[in-house]
Amino acid sequence: GRGFLRLLAAYDTEIQTIAKRAQREGRKLSQVPEYREAMGRLRGFLKNEVNRLLNRLVALHAPAVLVVERLDLRSPELSRR
C-alpha cells in the first residue's frame, strides 16, 4: 500500500537496533527474543502484503491459472546473479 516503504523502513530500523545491541552484548540473534519477535512481525507484514497484492491481481485480471511458489532463499550456495 501507500505506507509500505515507510513501514518497511520502520521494521528495518527496529531490527537493526536490536541486532546492534545483541552484537555488542555478544549474544546470538537466535537467542534474542526481541529479535525473533521483530522478525516474526516483519515476516507477517510481508506475507500479508504479498497476499493482498495477489488477491488484488486475481480480482482485477481473473487469470485462468495462478502459479505461486514458496522459495527458500537461505542457502549460501545460491548464485548471486
What total number of domains does the chain contain? 1
Query: Does a structural domain hold residue 56?
Result: yes
What's the confidence (pLDDT) of residue 80? Answer: 63
**What are the helix (H) ranges across 1-81?**
4-25, 33-61
Identify whether 27 is part of a domain.
yes
* CA 63/CA 21 separation, integer angstroms: 47
In a domain, 71, yes or no: no
Per-residue pLDDT tens digits for 17-46: 999 999 999 999 999 999 999 999 999 999
Looking at residue 68, its pLDDT comes to 85
Q: Across residues 53-67, what is the average pLDDT?
A: 93
pTM above 0.85, yes or no: no
- Is the residue at 80 inside a domain? no
Task: Establish if 46 belongs to a structural domain.
Answer: yes
Specify the 3-state DSSP secondary structure of 68.
coil
Residue 33 within a domain? yes
